[in-house]
């Protein structure tokens, strides 16, 4: 069964008929590239006008600080949130067993840290 399917596939794979494919993607891309190259040759021969280009409208601050879609209130909200978190963490929170383990000396926490005598 397998040999029969292989013998049927080989003649199809080895046929060298070249059929033009006018609607293929490759054919369309090649035509588009030819058109672009012709257009680029025409544009390259003309001088550039700086005053009417997008480069004239570009400000240096756009390069260093691009525009963001963040609302104006975002900065104060983040600052208030962080300050509330720090107040809770530093003043209001009660100590737990993890804090007590942090206050222990390293010799007690890590066994085998002392040099053998």
Residue 55 has pLDDT above 60, yes or no: yes
Per-residue pLDDT of 14-48, as tens digits, reads: 555 555 566 666 666 666 666 666 655 566 677 77
Give the Cα separation of 28 and 30 in Å (integer): 5
DSSP code of residue 22: T
Res. 95 pLDDT band, cuts 50 70 90: confident
Query: Any idea where the domains of the chain sit in the sequence?
Result: 75-107
DSSP string for 33-88? HHHHHHHHHHHHTSPP-STTSHHHH--HHHHHS------TTHHHHHHHHHHHHHHI
Enter the pTM of the model: 0.36
Average pLDDT of the chain is: 75
């Amino acid at each position: 069964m397998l040999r029969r399917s292989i013998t049927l596939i080989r003649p199809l794979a080895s046929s060298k008929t070249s059929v033009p494919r006018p609607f293929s993607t490759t054919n369309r891309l090649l035509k588009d590239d030819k058109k672009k190259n012709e257009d680029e040759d025409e544009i390259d021969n003309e001088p550039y006008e700086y005053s009417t280009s997008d480069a004239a409208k570009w400000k240096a601050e756009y390069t260093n600080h691009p525009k963001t879609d963040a609302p104006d209130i975002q900065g104060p909200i983040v600052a208030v949130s962080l300050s509330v978190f720090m107040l809770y963490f530093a003043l209001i929170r009660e100590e737990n067993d993890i804090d007590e383990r942090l206050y222990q000396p390293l010799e007690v926490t890590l066994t085998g840290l002392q040099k053998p005598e």
